[in-house]
Amino acid sequence: QVQLKESGGGLVEAGGSLRLSCVASGRAFSRYSMGWFRQAPGKEREFVAAMHFSGPDQKYADSVKGRFTMSRDNSKNTVYLQMDSLKSEDAAVYYCNLQTNWGKGTLVTVSS
């Protein structure tokens, strides 16, 4: 079975940066896309970003476009989410997604 494991969350000041990682195990992922979602306290889970392993296509939520960037390392079955210029609104649990598979999340906290 596919397992996803996020890491890289933590406490950061507003305006700072974090890089999240998601490692997928159990399968090859070159044919698929992987995405990031987040859920803030009292909010619904929302889409953040996604990209394909095999191509250049990427998609970002309007709320993070220009600040967040995805990248990948196919040899490690890993995708990254570089988060810059973090805002208090970005504070959430961030989840890695591959098809119907989800990680357990990594917490990002942003202080003012």
Each residue's pLDDT, cut to its tens digit, for the chain (112 residues) gives 789 999 999 999 999 999 999 999 876 666 678 899 999 999 999 999 999 877 788 999 999 999 999 999 888 889 999 999 999 999 999 999 998 899 999 999 999 8
Other beta carbons within 10 Å of 67:
15
Q: What is the pLDDT of residue 48?
A: 98
Positive or negative torsion for Cα 99, 105, 16, 14:
positive
Q: Which of 68, 63, 36 is nearest to 50 (CA)?
A: 36
Contact in structure between 48 and 35 (CB atoms under 8 Å):
yes
Q: What is the pLDDT of residue 29?
A: 62
Q: What is the pLDDT of residue 99?
A: 86
Q: What is the pLDDT of residue 54?
A: 74
